[in-house]
Amino acid sequence: LRRCLISMDIHHMEKSFQGIKTAVQAKDSFQNITILSASETLYNITSSDVCCMTKDVLQFYVDKVFRNHEESDPRIQRGLSTIANSFLHIRNALEQCRSQKNCYCRKETTSKFQLIVRNYEQMEVKAAAIKSLGELDILLSWISRNYQPKATT
Amino acid sequence: SAPCFSNGLPKPTNVTFSSVNMKNVLQWNSPESLRGAEVVYTVQYLIYGQKRWLNKSECRNINRTSCDLSYETYDHEEQYYGRVKAIWGKHCSKWAETERFNPWLETQIGPPVVALTPGEKSISVVLTAPQKWKRNAEDTSISMHQIYPNMKYNVSIYNSKTSKKWYKFVINYTLELSLLESETLYCISVQVYVPGPLRKTKPSEKQCITTLKDKTSELKV
């Protein structure tokens, strides 16, 4: 993300999700399935590929996850809307960055992203959407770590 | 262990992870109606996204109401569930589960180590970040600062003579408190702060130290 310097309030999103995390995750009854498969996908991304993976995953959340989820609880709906709007803003900024050739997608990264989509499509649509929403803490933590300066040890 | 009949024995309650510096302990309350009875417990854990619940052999048929799962939940980039059931003779309860546990988000970050060195009108504060729980004593230590690179410190300083208290925000490891009064007892406590979602942190024990005698005032006499 650091080559594609975009402004984002990651902590605002993290706080929004923290307030609804328990309720959203409680709706997901498939504990032994994961969509993001973080250890196989996100945590295996080199820093040069972070921008591309972020853009693709946010696009996935905007186009599929938020679109396929109907939320009846207004408190949860507010939290999810806050995050969805932030994702739209970041995705648009990354799209510009891509057009300036700064957000290049290597084949290896694209295949990791496709694993996420495959995991999603193997589930029933509504269950897949709620599971993906329950994994927002994983995604936001990954973005937060890739966005902040590295520790001086 | 011998099979038991899951026929209505009440479940343990308030099953949660208690976590400090990634030392992750599963804890629960015994079922209300079975307090005092000879109840034992068995624990399992699940790595989120993996197929099977796994046994924790050291926490099979135990009578305490906690089980250290730090070793099994060491990878703080994964998420976990814990569950426990009560067993009383041939009867056992259904499993009682935790919510999904995310160590990176939910661990409480302990206090730093605080070293103080007094000057005449100053105190030098040197901080050492807390360390992640280690599987083996001889393992290389991992500083919590490596896990949370944007970690900062909130230093509280109390002048015992004036009862005045103030705070300083520190990003790196050292802080020089200057323009203090000589021969005065100051008490200092330090708490970690990590920007982002609300994280529980524990302040260090209050440490008090007296600034030195002002040599220049001696010369005037």
Predicted confidence pLDDT, tens digits, chain B (221 residues): 567 777 789 999 999 999 999 999 999 999 888 888 889 999 999 999 999 999 999 999 999 999 999 999 999 999 999 999 999 988 999 999 999 999 999 999 999 999 999 999 999 999 999 999 999 999 999 999 999 999 999 999 999 999 999 999 999 899 999 999 999 999 999 999 998 888 889 999 999 999 999 887 665 54
Look at residues B93, B97, B98, B96 and name the one whose alpha carbon lies nearest to residue B40.
B93
Nearest CA in chain A to B142: A153
Nearest to A31 among B81, B102, B150 (CB): B81
Q: What DSSP character marks residue A61? A: I
Helices (H) and strands (E) in chain A, counts: 7, 0
Look at residues B93, B20, B25 and name the one whose alpha carbon lies nearest to residue B58.
B25
Contacts of B79 in chain A (CB under 8 A): 137-138
Mean pLDDT within A53-70? 94
Q: How buried is A35 (Cβ within 10 angstroms: 0-12 exposed, 13-18 middle, 19+ buried)? A: buried
**Is B45:B117 a contact under the CB 8 Å cutoff?**
no
Preferred mutation among A14, A28, A138, A148 to probe B, highest tally of B CBs within 10 A = A138
| Buried b or exposed e, range A92-101, using 16+ CB within 10 angstroms | ebbeebbeee
Cβ distance of A153 and B52 shorter than 8 Å: no
Look at residues B142, B124, B125 and name the one whose alpha carbon lies nearest to residue B133.
B142
Preferred mutation among A17, A31, A36 to probe B, highest tally of B CBs within 10 A = A31
The helix (H) or strand (E) run that includes residue B126 is strand B123-128
**Interface ipTM above 0.85:** yes
Cα angle: B12, vertex B15, B21; to 5 degrees: 150
